[in-house]
Amino acid sequence: MPLSKALLQLGTGLKGASSDSRAQGGTEARTGSTDPVAKDYFQERDGQRFAGTHLIIDIWQAGRLDDRAHLEATLRACVAAAGATLLHLHLHRFTPQGGISGVAVLAESHISIHTWPERSYAALDVFMCGDTQPRAAITVLRQAFPGARLAVEEHLRGRVEA
């Protein structure tokens, strides 16, 4: 498959490749301006300017980590709760142990998950920029995996030095 067709399928990289202007690359596609700082989707919080919030989430003592439909519904609920824009969702089941890995590709970045059902453990990355609320995914995960223990680390990606 030619690269241009593959990029069109992903909805990235080419002008006019996506009907959602927020999903297109480049400042000009998003804002109609060639000014690189016109709208770069960086955020400001507590006097810091940065690209986005990256949550590293470990879930222990969780069930249903081999349930593809449950994981898909959970990822979709995380995207909705965060106010993000879902572009593509892909999950892959590994056999024989039944672990699942997947990614929700967002206009604002991504959510990824990797599960080890035999250890009742899942690892998630929630990385979002723009006008989103990535921490809202934590509430969704607590509801999706009742009784599980969540450990959350937050990193501010792309910090701009003053």
Q: What is the CATH number of the domain that holds 121?
A: 3.60.90.10
To the query of whether residue 21 is one of the catalytic residues in this protein, the response is no
Q: Is the domain of 35 the same as that of 48?
A: no
Instruction: Report pLDDT for 37.
Output: 54
| The overall pTM is greater than 0.85 | no
The answer on pLDDT for 6 being more than 90 is no
In a domain, residue 78? The reply is yes
Q: Is 155 considered catalytic here?
A: no
- The predicted pLDDT at position 84 comes to 97
The answer on 68 and 9 residing in a single domain is no
What pLDDT digit, counting tens, does each position of 27-66 carry?
Answer: 333 334 455 555 677 888 888 888 899 999 999 999 999 9
The tokens of 26 are what?
């480049």
Count CA within 13 A, CB hemisphere, residue 47: 1
Q: Clarify whether 78 is annotated catalytic.
A: no
Catalytic residue, chosen from 19, 109, 120, 155, is: 109
Residues of the chain with pLDDT > 70: what percent? 75
Could you list the residue range(s) of the whole structural domain that residue 125 is in? 44-157
The total domain count for the chain is 2
**Are 84 and 108 within 8 A, CB to CB?**
yes
The tens digit of pLDDT for each residue in 117-139 reads: 999 999 999 999 989 999 999 99
3-state SS string for the chain: CCHHHHHHHHCCCCCCCCCCHHHCCCHHHHHCCCCCCCCCCCEEECCEEECEEEEEEEEECCCCCCCHHHHHHHHHHHHHHHCCCEEEEEEEECCCCCCEEEEEEECCEEEEEEEEHHHCEEEEEEEEECCCCCCHHHHHHHHHCCCCEEEEEEEEECCCCC
Do 21 and 87 lie in a common domain?
no
Does residue 162 fall inside a structural domain?
Answer: no
For residues 24 and 47, what is the distance between their CA atoms, to the nearest angstrom?
A: 29
Q: What is the pLDDT, as a whole number, of residue 82?
A: 98
Q: Are 105 and 111 in contact (CB under 8 A)?
A: no
* The pair of three-digit structure tokens given for residue 94, joined into one six-digit string: 């590994």
List the catalytic residue out of 70, 88, 114, 120.
114
Distance (Å, whole) CA 74 – CA 8? 27
